[in-house]
Amino acid sequence: LQSETTYKRVLLKISGEALMGDQAYGLHPPTVARIAQEVQSVRDLGVEICMVIGGGNIFRGLQGSAQGMERTTADYMGMLATVMNALAMQSALEALSIHTRVISAIRMDEVAEPYIRRRAVRHLEKKRVCIFAAGTGNPYFTTDTAATLRANEMACEAIFKGTKVDGVYDKDPAKFDDAERYDTISYDDVLTKRLGVMDASAIALARDNNLPIIVFSLDEPGGFRGILAGRGTYTKVYG
C-alpha cells in the first residue's frame, strides 16, 4: 500500500473553522468524524501523521484584544481553544481505533502529554497520530507557525494545509469567477502578493527550511489520500 504514495511522514494543518461544519461557532462532531476518516485513509497507507488544528472556531486572540482584552491573555485563550479541538479530534480518531496522542505546548499533564521532541518522534515511529496542541505555546504566534515549527522538528516531508478551496488562487475564488489557481508558487511570491496561504512568519519559516506547503480542499471526500497519491488539484508552495 505504501507504494500508493512516496510520503512517509507529513503534517496536516487545519483551521479550527474546518471543524465547525455549517455552524457559525464551535465544534460540529459529524464534521470532526469526517476529517478523522480522511486521516484514517492516509494512515492506512502507512504514512506517519502529525496534526495541528487551529482554534478560530472557538477563540482568536486578535478578536479578544480588539474587544479590550489584554493581548497575551487573549492569545493564551486562543491556545487553550486549540487544545479543545485537539481533544475532539483525538476522540474521533480513537472511535476509528487509531492510536492518538495529544501533545501540548503548554503543560497540562492531566489532559495531554507535554511536548518532548524525541518522545513525539517515537510516537510517530509507532504509527500513532500526533496532534500538536496549544500552538507554539507563545502569544503573538498562530497555529500556522506552530504547524511549520512542528513539521520541521518532526522532519515531515511537507505540510498539507486542508482548506475550503483546492489551492491558492490569485484572488478570492468565492468572490471572483475569473480567479485562477496556481499549480505551484514560490514562497516569495506568496509573501509579495500577500496571498494569505498562511501568515508571513509561517511562510518564512517554511521557506528557510525548504518545507513544501501543499494547499488542498478538505471538503472533497477522499481528498487527503488522493493528494498524497498525486491525484486531484492542489497548489504546491515551494522554491
- Nearer of residues 58 and 92 to ligand UDP, judged by Cβ: 58
Contact 159, 151 (CB under 8 A): yes
Q: Is 216 annotated as a binding residue?
A: no
The span from the CA of 172 to the CA of 69, in Å, is 31
Within 8 A by CB and 6+ apart from 171, the residues are: 179
Q: Give the sign of the dihedral formed by CA 67, CA 71, CA 72, CA 78.
A: positive
Is 162 one of the binding residues for ligand UDP (CB under 6 A)?
Answer: no
Flag whether 6 is marked binding. Answer: no
Comparing CB distances to ligand UDP, the nearer of 5 and 135 is 135
139 annotated among ligand-binding-site residues: yes
From 75-83, 94-102, 120-128, 176-184, give the range in contact with ligand UDP by CB under 6 A.
Answer: 75-83
Per the CB < 8 A criterion, the answer to whether 80 and 107 are in contact is no
Residue number closest to ligand UDP, CB atom: 54
CB-nearer residue toward ligand UDP: 148 or 235 = 148
User: Which among 14, 42, 34, 18 has a CA at the least distance from the CA of 228?
Assistant: 42
Count of residues binding ligand UDP (CB under 6 A)? Answer: 24
| Interface contacts to ligand UDP, rule CB under 6 A | 15-17, 54-56, 60-62, 75, 78-79, 81-82, 135-136, 138-139, 141-146
